[in-house]
Amino acid sequence: MNRKTNNGLKIICLNRKASFNYFFENLVEAGIVLKGSEIKSIREGKVNIADSYAIEKNGELILINSHIASYKQASYSNHKPLDNRKLLLNKKEINKLIGKMQRDGLTIVPTKMYFKKGKAKIELAVAKGKKQYDKRATKRNRDWSREKARYVRKSS
């Protein structure tokens, strides 16, 4: 799953389910506090952020429910796969995100995890949940654009 993009980012994992379940308002890049065995496991690509989200605790943002598989070679100093992980942002950014969560009822969802200059980063989206009819409309539009592309290919 390790892919290099044109701007030097090495993508570790994507949360494709998030774009189907949420409307994104804006995207924020954050660092993560990790242990040694966690970063080694991330370098192997054994990460899942599909069901994770961020909450506010004591004025900090914490990533909940992200799964980083335990590292085989780390013996007694291994980490717990479903630990809560602190997100690194400026105080001003944290206050802005907490305000949006409390006032507007929005959620903070990770969209992708990647390496940037050797450091593990996570892209967070300030998002609003989609209703069932929004999800059906999204699926309908995707299917129609796929059918349209088939018609164009067959006709030419």
Q: Give the start-to-end residue ranges of the domains of the chain.
A: 3-130
Report the percentage of the chain scoring pLDDT > 70: 96
Look at the chain and count its residues.
156
Classify each residue of 86-118 as buried b or exposed e, where b means 16 or more C-beta atoms within 10 Å of its C-beta: ebbbeeebbeebbebbeeeebbbbbbbbbbeee
pLDDT at position 30 over 80: yes
Query: Is 36 or 144 the better-scoring residue by pLDDT?
Result: 144
pLDDT at 146: 94
d(CA 109, CA 122): 10
pLDDT at 5: 60
Angle at 131 between CA 133 and CA 24, to 5 degrees: 115
Least confident of 14-18, 40-44, 73-77, 144-148: 73-77
Q: Which residue has the tokens 């299917």?
A: 143
Which of the following CATH numbers is that of domain 3-130: 2.30.40.10, 2.40.280.10, 3.40.50.11440, 3.60.20.10? 2.40.280.10
pLDDT at 94: 92
pLDDT at 60: 92
